[in-house]
Structure 1
Amino acid sequence: MAKGYRASKVNPQNTVRGNQADETIIDLSEVKTSAEHYYSAHKNTILGIAGGLILLVGGYFAYKFLYSEPRNKEALEQMYQAEFLFEKDSFEMALNNPGAGFPGFKEISENYSGTDAGNLAKYYAAICNLKLGNYQEAKDFISSYKASGNIMPIMKEGITGDIQAEMNDFEGARDSYKKPVK
């Protein structure tokens, strides 16, 4: 016997007694037959659900890649001139008419609603209106803006607070400024 070799012990509980193992074997032909009967009885329902799922998934991808993403890309291209003027503090032109055939943030937010770029145009339009003294319009734009990520919700609350302070709603402004801290 080799050094370190030890014979394994047989555990009597793990041994199969008689034909117990044979009793747990499932008759595959029985399962196949019952599955065929179930399918033939519910064929229309199964095919209808499968077809509906395929249409639903196909419709989602068609909407996303053939409609939504191209519109978002187009809106981003349209925002170029307005963003340029926004950076130059030309808020009136950025909001309404940046020139060169480009729409302003207000028009982009209306024409491309439902896109990320249209949503971002609402944010820019709120800031432009705030700087121009159009506080109610600024409030309308910022309230319809859907902020996402870590920074933009904080920025939205800050702008909301600025608008409320300009409208002499100091308690609302305080609440807006405190909201990101909570």
Structure 2
Amino acid sequence: MARKNNIGRRPTGTPSKGRAANTNTGIGGESDGDDTLVDFVEVRDQGLDFFERNRKPIIIAVVALIAIVAGALLYQTFIAAPAERNAAEQMQQAQFQFDQDSFSLALTNPGQGYPGFLDIADEYSGTKAGNLANYYAAVSYLNLGKYEAAMDYLQDFDAEGELLPAMKAGVMGDLHSELGDFSAAIDSYREAVDEAGNNYVTGGYYLNKLGLLLRKEGRTEEALAAFRRLKADYSASAEAAQADKYITALESK
């Protein structure tokens, strides 16, 4: 009976492949290629041995990962996405009342059986529309003179993207100003301008508010700097048209 060859070794008497006759050999005449092949086999066998010894926890981990991914996909498809659509649809009537400056109705009873911003923020808190309802509620309460309530909802609003962080900081400035905390209001308006970046609409709007509040507080040099920046950096904004008037008045002091 022919002897079974060891794994990874050439049968006796067969030539090596891909190596010249003068290839260097290792100890005992064994070629470097054979050493490399043996090393590869040993690594492979070690890996197989590790898998065999840890088969159960590895399989459990793989199954758990598959379950997590599948669960996330199912949640997004059948729960999260429909909830987003439903929340957006439910908020349309409240947004309509908000646009009409009917802030009380927008908050609690926008009509036609639709919920107001307060109910939407509560019932759809995990959706983008529910989050945005916090902002609308804050602005509505601000316009109604209920500043503490406005502050609560604004703090619950998670502002993301390019526009919303500036708007949140700006409304925060308005609230601090109405509550008499002018130092905090100035800081919030500065943050709003920084968040606005190159957006001349929001940037110009809040930079003008910053300049006016600094002027009111007697901080002349800072107010001048604000209006000069308004004229230079946000010249396309509606507020920039009034910048020269304030600059002249401040420089004459």
Identify the residue that residue 145 of structure 2 maps to in structure 1.
133
Greater Cα shift, 112-121 or 21-30: 21-30
1:17 deviates by: 4.7
| Cα distance in 2, alignment partners of residues 178 and 33 from structure 1 | 65
**2:70 partner amino acid:** G
1:18 deviates by: 2.7
Please say which structure displays the higher CA radius of gyration: 2
Say whether 1:110 aligns with 2:125.
no
Identify the residue that residue 144 of structure 1 maps to in structure 2.
156
| Cα distance in 1, alignment partners of residues 35 and 192 from structure 2 | 61
**2:165 partner amino acid:** P
**Residues 115-174 of structure 1, C-alpha deviation per residue, up to 9 Å, x if partnerless?**
100000111111110001111110001011000011110000000110111111111111
Identify the residue that residue 37 of structure 1 maps to in structure 2.
49
1:178 deviates by: 1.2
Structure 2 residue corresponding to 1:22, chosen from 15, 33, 48? 33
**2:167 partner amino acid:** M
Give the % identical residues: 39
1:29 deviates by: 4.6
1:51 deviates by: 1.1
Identify the residue that residue 78 of structure 2 maps to in structure 1.
66
| Cα distance in 1, alignment partners of residues 88 and 34 from structure 2 | 68
Greater Cα shift, 61-70 or 105-114: 61-70
| Cα distance in 2, alignment partners of residues 24 and 88 from structure 1 | 83
1:70 deviates by: 1.0
Say whether 1:160 aligns with 2:172.
yes
| Cα distance in 2, alignment partners of residues 63 and 47 from structure 1 | 24
Greater Cα shift, 39-48 or 29-38: 29-38
After superposition, the CA RMSD in angstroms is 1.8
Counting matched residue pairs gives 167
Gaps of 5+ in 2: 1-21, 26-30, 195-253
| Cα distance in 1, alignment partners of residues 138 and 36 from structure 2 | 70
TM-score, with length taken from structure 2: 0.62
Identify the residue that residue 189 of structure 2 maps to in structure 1.
177
| Cα distance in 2, alignment partners of residues 17 and 29 from structure 1 | 22
**2:190 partner amino acid:** K
1:39 deviates by: 1.5
| Cα distance in 2, alignment partners of residues 160 and 29 from structure 1 | 67
**2:37 partner amino acid:** I
| Cα distance in 1, alignment partners of residues 35 and 171 from structure 2 | 69
TM-score, with length taken from structure 1: 0.84
1:180 deviates by: 3.4
Structure 2 residue corresponding to 1:83, chosen from 95, 98, 113? 95
The structure showing larger relative contact order (alpha-carbon pairs under 8 Å, at least 6 residues apart) is: 1
| Cα distance in 2, alignment partners of residues 36 and 131 from structure 1 | 70
**1:26 partner amino acid:** L
